[in-house]
Amino acid sequence: MSQVFGVDVTTEDIIETLSFFDSWEERYKYIIDLGKELPAIDESLKVDEHLVRGCQSQVWLVPEVEPDHLTFQVDSDAHIVKGLLAVVLAAFNGKSAQSILDFDVENYFNQLDLVRHLSPTRGNGLRAMVQKIKDTAQSIQ
């Protein structure tokens, strides 16, 4: 059974686990492994409407609006990006729109020491993923 990011795997879990690794090579491997735990999305959902603009790789983010929370199906054609999606989902998946809007994602990324270890295009893509999630949350407020 796969773990649900944001429920079974939290931001605290990821911060704590990454802190155990001494090198960024080990941290990247862990992030890639997180991406491998994401459930596959149906090919029919890989359409332009769900593409995240601003990402170097192809990234699909499919929001599902529930009465009290949002969930997201995600996928990418790049392993490291799938891992980054898992890191993002740990923060936002299964949360209320208000919780998503209130979450200090910059502080989270700073605790992970992540952005400075990504290429500028990957960093921009990471922020584009977050922005798409926050835009979805804002649209249902």
pLDDT for position 1: 45
Q: Can you give the pLDDT at residue 86?
A: 96
Domains and CATH numbers, the chain: 11-139 (3.90.1010.10)
Q: Are 110 and 66 in contact (CB under 8 A)?
A: no
Q: What is the length of the chain? A: 141
CA distance 59 to 81: 8
Bridge partner residues of 75 (DSSP): 60
DSSP string covering 4-68: PBTTTB-HHHHHHHHHH-SSHHHHHHHHHHHHHTSPP--GGG-SGGGBPTT-SS-EEEEEEE-SS
pLDDT in tens, the chain (141 residues): 456 888 888 999 999 999 999 999 999 999 999 999 999 899 999 999 999 988 789 999 999 998 899 999 999 999 999 999 999 999 999 999 999 999 999 999 999 988 888 888 888 999 999 999 999 999 997
Give the pLDDT of residue 116.
Answer: 85
The separation between the first and the last C-alpha atoms of the chain, rounded to the nearest angstrom, is 33
The whole-number pLDDT of residue 8 equals 87
Q: What pLDDT does residue 6 have?
A: 83
The catalytic site residues sit at 55
- Position 67 scores a pLDDT of 86
pLDDT at position 56: 81
